[in-house]
Amino acid sequence: MKYYSTLAALLLFRLIAVGQTQESQTETPPTAVTNMTFDIYYIADDVMMGRFPGTEQADLVRGYIDGRMRQYGLRPMGEDGYFQEFPVPRFVEVGEDTR
């Protein structure tokens, strides 16, 4: 079963958003810092219950990220808008060679 990785999408979103600032600026504008701080606190809030893939909380964060990308006018380039599916293992076996 394939799941969306909200964390990966958020990190990509931040890299793109920062990359679109003016090249002549050496510091991030205060408004951008405020927005990033709000985004991080919203997504990391306990209400999101860890955002495990496939949960209602992960879907809420996915929608939030989608909205923010649209707000910034970013062009969708994923398989599904701004996102790309990939498998996420649910369990990992620990063997003798695992440390």
Q: HEC states along the chain?
A: CEECCHHHHHHHHHHHHHHCCCCCCCCCCHHHHHHHHHHHHHHHCHHHHHHCCCCHHHHHHHHHHHHHHHHCCCCCCECEECECCEECCCCCCCCCCCC
Region label for 78, one of left (φ > 0), alpha (ψ between -120 and 50) or beta (otherwise) = beta
pLDDT at 15 over 80: no
Alpha-carbon span 5 to 16, nearest angstrom? 17
The pLDDT value recorded for residue 3 is: 45
What is the band of 27 on the pLDDT scale with cuts at 50, 70, 90?
A: low
Contact 3, 88 (CB under 8 A): yes
What pTM, to 2 d.p., does this model score? 0.57
Residue scoring higher pLDDT (23 or 26): 26
Q: What is the mean pLDDT of residues 50-57?
A: 81
